[in-house]
Amino acid sequence: MRGAMFVRPTNPVSHRLARMAFIMACVAALIVASAGPLHRYLGLEIEPAFAIFRYGFYVAVAGVALGVATFVPTRPGDRRRGFVAALLAIVIGGAAAYTPLNWFLRAQQAPEINDVTTDTNNPPPLVATLQLRRGASNPATYPGAHAAVLQRAAYPDITPVILPEPPAEAFKKIDAAAMAMGWDVVGRSPADGRIEAVATSIWFGFRDDIVIRIRPDGAGSKVDIRSKSRDGESDLGVNAKRIREFIAKLKAG
């Protein structure tokens, strides 16, 4: 009895709020995770899918805030119950909020373009992939001078690649590099010096079309790459990153 006098009472309200925070964080994680499959596999339009993505972020932030509020109680005794639930709410909610927040920050930093090429004056045209773009919101034509200015300012390193091999040998090397990138190569035309492929994102299933052009350059070859998104005003820097990775793989090979 004497020892019981020194046991600090728990706060049932704080405990319930911690459990509520945990439930909110779990629901937020499910909402955020479902946005991609709903678009990719069930055909949900991109705007509603992004709306679900965005609302999942809001719920995640609310869950984290409530978790923090119950994780740091006003009385030491309140921490005995609901501690684990509040901690999990912070961890799960933070993880659920990370991806939408990361996308938002990337959108702020990346230029509002969806078509990146090593030759902005004469971009390699889409030929085989042109037939696959039916229903795409972005036209297959290059956006023009404004996009070129934005690209040169943001990605000055995206320039043509010069290979020492003649076009016929360079074609084989480039084809192998494209396959190693995991792209779906849909067009090969050695006579025209052109390779086309499609890259599909894992989560939302976004499809970007890639065309690689090989031209003679003295004893070697000049290689131009173009990567274009089918949908979205901004690619969040994905096309430039893809071209950089391909060039690095090509040079490493």
> In this predicted structure, what is the pLDDT of residue 3?
42
| Average pLDDT in the chain | 90
DSSP 79: G
User: What type of residue sits at position 246?
Assistant: F
Question: If residue 188 lies in a helix (H) or strand (E), which one and from where to where?
Answer: strand 184-189
Dist CA 34 CA 59 (whole Å): 14
pLDDT in tens, 62-107: 999 999 988 765 455 555 567 888 999 999 999 999 999 999 998 8
Dist CA 164 CA 154 (whole Å): 28
> In this predicted structure, what is the pLDDT of residue 80?
55
Q: What would the mean pLDDT of 114-134 be, rounded to a whole number? A: 96
pTM comes to 0.84
Contact present, 197 and 226 (Cβ < 8 Å): no
pLDDT in tens, 3-37: 444 444 455 677 888 899 999 999 999 999 999 99
Q: What would the mean pLDDT of 179-198 be, rounded to a whole number? A: 97
DSSP 160: -
- For 184, phi then psi, to 5°, come to -90, 100
Contacts of 54 (CB under 8 A, 6+ apart): 100
Residue 52: CB atoms within 10 Å = 17
> In this predicted structure, what is the pLDDT of residue 72?
66
> In this predicted structure, what is the pLDDT of residue 10?
53
> Phi-psi bin for 182: left (phi > 0), alpha (psi -120 to 50), beta?
left
- Among 10, 22, 9, which residue's Cα sits nearest to residue 87? 22
CA angle 112, 143, 232 (to 5 degrees): 45
> In this predicted structure, what is the pLDDT of residue 8?
45
Express as a percent the part of the chain with pLDDT over 90.
Answer: 79
Per-residue pLDDT at 160 exceeds 50: yes
Per-residue pLDDT at 1 exceeds 90: no
pLDDT in tens, 219-251: 999 999 999 999 988 999 999 999 999 999 999
